[in-house]
Structure 1
């Protein structure tokens, strides 16, 4: 599995710790935290870069961290085809995959500790399948998105 990761200046430590954890778990990832020269590097720009790399199938999953995880989640969800979930507990992370097919997880360094973030990330990475009962719900999310973008 290939993973896109990014953070703003409020979550550098958490991103560093998550990257080390991904290394230990054997996952491949690319860090999109740094902007190309001359390009803005606000959290919105970082979230957009990561989300677009997941949406275009460069990566199967994405991880975006900032101070709270809220802003990057909002931005990532603006990218067509993306379902990003803000998760600060294991249950929500697992359900984000199983109930919603979330390809991106967001977290906040100012909200949770590093060890909990690692546990949440691992649970999210290991939760592969969308529940059979959730497939029609995820399909409806996709249909609504297509209807909105068709207008």
Structure 2
């Protein structure tokens, strides 16, 4: 007599929804040092999204190219903060409204995002923490 096995399945629909949510991205309400909203919202995609993965590959390739041009692979990783800023800037989808610094309005562009994250670590830290956590892209 043969033992009959019942078919068991694992439903991965939740993971599929997570992938979709990471591709879509989230909007982060940026807070000041007291935890109050600054009124600036920044959009970012998730760690598993195509855009984030491409950003990581592009920044890694840029660092390797720069090292090759210097003739030394010793420092191919570059400054970790600069690398993270470059990756986050490429993975940032938008901000709203345009921020103003010293009376000058800063329109959204990858270069301006990079400059904002370099100048204001408090903003970069908030974006980095949310972007790195898959849980940031789930509801509830």
- Structure (1 or 2) with the larger CA radius of gyration: 2
Q: Which has the higher contact order (CA 8 A, sep 6+)?
A: 2
- Shared fold per TM-score greater than 0.5: no
Question: What is the TM-score when the length of structure 2 is the normalising length?
Answer: 0.23
